[in-house]
Copies of this chain bind each other. A is one copy, B any other.
Amino acid sequence: METVAENQKVRITKKLEKMFGHIDYKNPPELCPVRDVMSVASDQWSVLIILWLGYFEKLRFNKLKKYVYGISNKVLSQRLKVLEADGYISRKAFAEVPIRVEYSLTEFGHSYVEKLLELTEWMQLNCPKVLANRERYGLF
């Protein structure tokens, strides 16, 4: 990662454009792709939802609620909607009584899980803080 001295004027580079989406830092923050990417499925609940759906082929609402321990109906419902809209998961409703709804990861969702695991493994090896907790996790 090449850096630039503080007093130096910002140079417009391909790399910077990719990082911020647009060189003008006064632009609305929604225009930053990195920010977008990280905001989509990086919150605590979404991560757990995605992980459990990565482990099970498919899960119904209440099963998912059981595994994503401590989540409420409202929050689970909200997160599922966002994750579906963003293409991580798919929702399949069956016209039964009572209604049955199955959630599963999309192709993209599965590859995102791989990325999450990669990042986590990398963090476990490189992040000072996580490293300090490895005993707590019982890993390695």
Contacts and interface: CB of A to CB of B under 8 A. Distances in A.
A117 B34 contact: yes
B87 A108 contact: no
Nearest to A136: B31
Interface string A22-33: 100111010111
B139 A51 contact: no
Interface in A21-61: 21-22, 25-27, 29, 31-40, 42-44, 47-48, 51-52, 54-60
A67 B108 contact: no
Contacts of A117: 15, 18-19, 34
Task: Count identical subunits in the complex.
Answer: 2
Interface residues of A, number: 77
A129 interface: yes
The A contact surface, by secondary structure, is helix
A63 to B, nearest CB: 7
Contacts of A29: 44, 48, 69-70
13 contacts: A1-B111, A3-B54, A4-B56, A6-B58, A19-B55, A25-B69, A29-B70, A32-B48, A33-B120, A35-B44, A37-B123, A39-B43, A85-B129
